[in-house]
Amino acid sequence: MDAAGLPGCGVAELVRRIQAGDRSAESDLIGRYSAAVLVIIRKSMREHGNREDIYQEVFRLAIEKIRAGEVREPERLSGFVLSLTRNLISRSYRRTVGDAHATPAEPSLPADQLERLLRQERASIARRILSELGSSRDREVLHRYYLDEEDKETICAELGLHELHLNQVLCRARGRYRDLYNRFVERTKREVER
Amino acid sequence: MDHRYIEEHDIADRYWMGKLSSEEQQAFELHIMDCSTCLARVEESEGLREGLRSVRKAGRAPIPTAAWRIAAIAACLGLSIAGTASYVLRRQLVEARQEAAVERQQLSNRVAPKPELAAASLYRFEIVRGEQTPNRVFVPSSPESIVISLRLEPAPGATRYQVVLLAASGATVARKSDLALDAGGHLVVTFPSTLLVPGDYTLRVESLSSSGQASEIATYPFRALPRP
């Protein structure tokens, strides 16, 4: 696999440290996989609902199973954590479907404050990116690609664009998003530290 | 799955759009478990999509940069611009100011990001009997989640559980309701570490009947200590 490695020690070593009772290794495990697990949970569960419970449960179970020596191939720790995540998502989904048959559906829980804050910030960044784009055609490219989920070929054909130009628009927008979002994260960190 | 394939086939974007085959999705998810570059790429794609969606939902047209700059400069210099152009620019300026005011207000109301997104510490609590050393929790210097797992025997007639975090004075610090035991008989609660200062606390577990009546079933005293 051609992967840019995440910081931290090798995964087999991480498993060994957790089994040896090293508490800092448990934090390292969470630090290493936290963001990826969150992405997968968000992708699979569009409603905010019990995402957080699943996230917590993934790491509780992972640490418990590692301590109990249930990870037989420590070098495949990533696959192990991924399987746990998928199983818990499936279980939650089955439970939700079962509950929906048994009782009237409950309204989904409101997004928490962090979710709302992130949503506002993303909207603010998107507005800025849209305002910075050179033409209304480029704005349309972003809308049609990301929101209407049209194929690149269709967008290019209908707007008379070369795919290279479309890719440049998308690439610039993502780069700008990254830049503005990182600034937001830095700003927030400074506020939290104060 | 490698980076070239991911880039050439727009895998990160198509992941969010649900346009990957089952095999591609599985391979990509395994890849991002170990690849910070692709993980960042997929987060950018998600953020940009969500941002655009919010803008569309709000139905607000973006302010053209040039007009905004002119309006801002004009306002700063106290210039008056005659006619329709002036009206449009002023309206945009007012809107932009309102937007900035709202954002400033949101900033001042902002709470610290939920720490569980960054890090968490797991503790397993036991019921303390007699003079036993109480359970201990180490409070980190930077915010994170404190995850506490409590082993419980299911209470007869209980449909759900709630956990109350009490300070030594008896004051309620936090409450988590609507909890359920997992398959292993554990109740798992999460608190932000920022709720705790060094001192003595108690976690009180209550069972909830179908009528909503709460009954205390266990208490777990613990001591919060600064993390060494």
User: What does DSSP say about strands B145-151 and B135-139: parallel, antiparallel, or unpaired?
Assistant: unpaired
User: Which residue is it, tokens 């992941």?
Assistant: B15
B135 exposed, middle or buried (CB, 10 Å; 0-12, 13-18, 19+)? Answer: buried
Between CA B116 and CA B122, with CA B121 as vertex, the angle to 5 degrees is 115
pLDDT 10s digits, B78-133: 333 333 333 343 444 444 444 544 444 444 444 333 433 346 677 777 766 666 66
Residue B8 pLDDT more than 70? yes
Q: Is the distance from CB of B197 to CB of B139 less than 8 angstroms?
A: yes
* Alpha helical stretches, state H, chain B: 3-8, 11-17, 22-34, 36-58, 65-77, 83-109
Residue A145 CA to residue A155 CA, distance in Å, equals 8
What whole-number distance in Å separates Cα of residue A66 and Cα of residue A62? 6
Residues in chain A within 8 Å Cβ distance of B2: 1-2
Instruction: Provide the 10 A C-beta neighbour count for residue A45.
Output: 16
Residues of B in Cβ contact (< 8 Å) with A122: 47-48, 50-51, 54
Tokens coding A125: 């960044």
Give the other-Cβ count within 10 Å of A67's Cβ.
15
**pLDDT at residue B162 in the model:** 86
Q: Say if residue B48's pLDDT is above 60.
A: yes
Out of A27, A146, A192, name the one closest to residue B121 (CB). Answer: A27
Q: Which of B23, B36, B67, B7 has its CA nearest to residue A39?
A: B36
Which has the higher per-residue pLDDT, A3 or A67?
Answer: A67
Q: For the segment A66-96, what is each residue's pLDDT rounded down to a tens digit? A: 999 998 899 999 999 999 999 999 888 777 6
Tokens of residue A95, six digits: 């439970």
Distance of CA B74 to the CA centre of its chain: 41
Q: What is the mean pLDDT of chain B?
A: 72
Q: What pLDDT is recorded for position B199?
A: 87
Percent of chain B whose predicted confidence (pLDDT) is above 90: 7
- The candidate with the shortest Cα–Cα distance to A38, out of B175, B145, B88, is B145
Of A38, A63, A146, the CB nearest to B52: A146
Choose from B48, B107, B111, B141 for mutation: most chain A CBs within 10 A.
B48
Given the structure tokens 């777990």, which residue do they identify? B220
From the list A79, A114, A145, the residue facing B114 with the nearest CB is: A114
Its sign, for the CA torsion B114, B117, B122, B125, is positive
- pLDDT score, position B68: 39
Q: Which residue of B has its CA nearest to A75?
A: B34
pLDDT at A106: 38
Instruction: Supply the ipTM of this predicted assembly.
Output: 0.82
Q: How many Å lie between the alpha carbon of A145 and the closest alpha carbon of chain B?
A: 9
